[in-house]
Amino acid sequence: MFKNFFNFIFELIKIVVISVVIIVPIRYFLIQPFYVKGASMEPTFYDHEYLIIDEISYRFNDPRRGDVIVFRYPRDPQEYFIKRVIGLPGEKIQIKEGGVYIYNKENPAGFPLEEKYLLADLKTHSSTNEIVSLDKDEYFVLGDNRNSSKDSRIFGAVERNFLIGRVLWRGWPFSRAGFINSAEYSY
């Protein structure tokens, strides 16, 4: 009887150890769950949605314009934010006439960013006309719900070392589950 009990305990310990050895590296180095809090990314993501974040892609590739990312809030690294990458390192960003304008080497005169994923009443309404210059390793991020978003317009550019990863998959609610693609822009 004791032999069966000890075999059961030994098998249970093996299962727990194997599970920890598999799950911990995946959770801390490859993918991470994220829970959406707030309305800053509506209509793309709503409050209380459950997302899976790809943490490995940005170790080998740079973030692209249109990626939805999770990052540590620059003013309080204990907080996590979710926003869309709008401006890339070395570019200049200007918010004017209700839209976002990008200035870079390919387009020194600038171009308006076509953001088809935004609802008309959620687009940027305030125009500062201020031009923000991004250093190397800095990204300009905005929420999709510009009227309810605390983003680079408020706290400035986000350095690459604050980035956690890009949103890969929405798991909850099941009716909206699926992989998340980056926005495509035409210049």
Give the residue numbers annotated as catalytic, written as ranges: 40, 83
Q: Locate the DSSP E strands across 42-137.
A: 50-54, 68-73, 76-87, 92-96, 99-103, 111-112, 131-133
CB 79 within 8 A of CB 72: yes
Separation of alpha carbons 172 and 181, rounded Å: 16
Beta strand 111-112 with 99-103 is antiparallel
Question: Which residue do the tokens 């997302």 mark?
Answer: 51
Cα 51–chain centre separation: 10
